[in-house]
Chains A and B, each alone.
Chain A
Amino acid sequence: MTHTHINNSSYTFKHTNLLGIEQLSQHDIVFLLDQSEHMLTAFRSKTPLHNLKDAVVINLFFENSTRTLNSFDIAAKKLGAEVINTAIAHSSIKKGETLLDTAATLNAMRPDIVVIRHSFAGATALLSAKISCPVINAGDGAHEHPTQALLDALTIKLSKGSITGLKVAICGDILHSRVAYSNILLLKQMQADVHVVAPPTLMPHYIETLGITAHTHMSKGIKDCDIIMMLRLQTERMNGIYVPSPKEFYRFYGLDVEKLQNAKPDALIMHPGPTNRGVEIDGSIIENSRSLIERQVESGVAVRMAVMHNLYNAMQKAG
């Protein structure tokens, strides 16, 4: 059995929630990536799809987001769904309702898919227990952001042909990053060689228990890499507790032309956005032909279409 092909006759996607990459097998990932490629073709050619016709998708965002919310919104609409976007500022939580009461209330409205982002790790899983339709985790604290990892994987696959065996470095604020954790799980599952780079203050103490290699020197961490994934450093983490200043962070952990020379000559650069130019990445690299940043955004819509479609299908089959 190879890693990239599955025998479709014996495989069915059975998940009715996507709470994290942790729940996915290698088969699941390969299947979702294949499905995402089809969706990408349809999306690019503006082929009308009706997979979620008459379905209601609720985007329940307890934490601010622009790109992820828009991406889910567009993905659902491309599949023909009705979409309701609920941002924290308008929610009942502000009126004192508990999280689980909110879930029960929404559930009573019989949505077909609920997409949830929350600033606390585990909040999505907690809510999903009270919601009978598929739930997609759009980011829970520093835990998981599975659709981001899938869209990153799709982008890599489309650029490099395969993920297996690639050397991938994830650089920046590993400690607070759900993107990093989901990516690590997915890349490990696809048998990539995973390295992480961060100052010791932004690196989980036991990160190597995930079976990856941790570096505090960026030039060592990205040495001979095929893929460099940069992470966003939140402004509030540059003020002297985690990192002394943006200037110092850029000097030692910002991806600039000089550090990039340590990677393979054909190494590709990714960033989940939004980028801080001159903090974690040099502006010229963002616009470099080796940058996949815009393609990641496009992949994002396709991946979310594939995920919604397949969760919805699995739920229909499960009755």
Chain B
Amino acid sequence: MVKENNIPEKNFILTNIRVLNPLKRTDEVYTKQGGIVVKNGRIVDVGSNLLSDSHTEGLPLIDGKGLIVSPGLVDISVFPGSPGYAHRENLLSTSLSAAAGGVTAIILEPHTKPVNDNVATLDFIKRRARDESVVHVYCKAALTRNTDGKEMTEMGLLAESEAIAFGDGPYPVQDSQLIYMSMQYAKRFDALIVNQPQDNRLVNGGVMHDGHMAVRLGLPTMNEVAETVMLNRDIDLNRYCKGRFHASLLSTQRSCNIIHRAKNTQDKLSASVSINNLLLTDKDIEAYRTFFKHSPPLRSEQDKEALIEAVANNTIDIITSHHIPQPVEKKRLPFSQAAFGSVGLETLLPASLELYHDKKIDLLSLIASLTINPARIFSIKAGTIEKNSLADFVLFNVNSPYIVDPNNFKSRAKNSSYEGKKFRSQVCMTFVRGRCVYNNLIV
């Protein structure tokens, strides 16, 4: 857990509001007599008849008319820029960007400079986060030293210093022995291993999905087997090792099938998908638009639909923004040379809610994949709205269309895949420990 920090605590009552609690799978509307009572940064009561109680006397009211409140989002794949790449993003801009997207807890990727592969760097980042961030910050530590894929990091010492998972971010572990040994070793600490399945030898310089578009554009491809070969490997190793394993950023229909089958026998297996792979396809790349260059790549319509279905039926547990800030000079390049990734924190909730509007995923399941599921899998105390939980939540309006303008982003980077796109929902307010960290409402 993030230690107590200097965010001032607030006391208030949120009334006249629809409350989603994905942990208990409840969706309740409270009148002006009920809602959520926040004191000292914690939820002290949730109910339909609160205003008559003496303990709520004198507390300021926030009227949530027409709004929905859900637990704050937990984003499991955020590249923070700092340390090492502060020109791209720092912890303050990352956290403001998160708050604007309804995200109250972020899990940082380890491939900073220096790499977060030792206790000193981990402590440094956590201290920085305490000083700068307006949202909760958790760290994945590197699984291998310098993310070189050759030697395990000091997983036990890092776990004692509150690294919540181990993975090499965008550098999947290629060496079968090393990932096997890591899975074995991690069991001693009940540590979560995260690996994005991508076989470098099969990717072989590919930059986009293998399909009609790639033929038209003449670009080298990352075909589906580059993902499924490694996914099959990892899942079979995890079957043998019986540890906690998370297959991150899946992108193909066959990956969904593989996870679906494996989950029948592996109860500590989980999977995630980038929001980009749920909303976009390789067709969006069109005329070499590098803001649509992602890893894993945007794939076919069929893959996209299968991934959505996998989230809806809980085969895939988590949706992440896969936030990768890139400066313009890294993107304004020939497609093959441009950097992978896009910023996504700010658009995470509105983008995800498109799936609800399109009636592809029900609201509670969708919210669960953004809140309680990542909290549970990554062992974070978050993802619920109930008595005694931290007052980390987001108010949003599902019927409030807007057009994404990256110039308004809190993020330092503007490389959004949704520039100019119309979303039907907006984040209104975000609270962390009862403190308002984002306010888009005129109150």
A→B interface (CB under 8 Å):
199-201, 216-217, 239-245, 247-248, 251-252
Contact = CB atoms under 8 A, between A and B. Distances in A.
Contact of A244 (B153, B177, B187): B153
Given A240-B144, A241-B181, A242-B181, A216 B154 contact: no
Interface of B: 144-145, 150-157, 177-178, 181, 184-185, 187-188, 241
Contacts, number: 47
Contacts of A241: 151-152, 177-178, 181
Given A239-B151, A240-B144, A240-B150, A248 B157 contact: yes
B181 A248 contact: no
Contacts of A201: 181, 184-185
A240 B151 contact: yes
A216 B185 CA distance: 9
B157 A247 contact: yes
Contact of B185 (A200, A217, A251): A200
A239 B181 CA distance: 12
Interface of chain B, main secondary structure: helix
Nearest to A200: B184
A241 B182 CA distance: 8
Contacts of B144: 240
Given A216-B188, A239-B151, A244-B156, 7 more contacts: A199-B188, A201-B185, A240-B152, A241-B152, A243-B152, A244-B185, A251-B156
8 contacts: A200-B188, A201-B181, A216-B187, A239-B151, A241-B152, A241-B181, A242-B181, A245-B154
A244 B152 contact: yes
A280 to B, nearest CB: 15
Contacts of A252: 156, 188
Contacts of A251: 156-157
A242 B153 CA distance: 11
In the complex, the 6 A-B pairs of residues with the closest C-beta atoms, listed nearest first: A240-B151, A200-B184, A248-B154, A244-B154, A216-B188, A244-B152
Nearest to B185: A201
A61 B99 CA distance: 68
Contacts of A240: 144-145, 150-153
Contacts of A242: 181
A283 B83 CA distance: 39
A244 B188 contact: no
A253 to B, nearest CB: 9
A248 B188 CA distance: 12
B156 A248 contact: yes
A265 to B, nearest CB: 27
A198 B184 CA distance: 11
A262 to B, nearest CB: 16
Contacts of B152: 240-241, 243-244
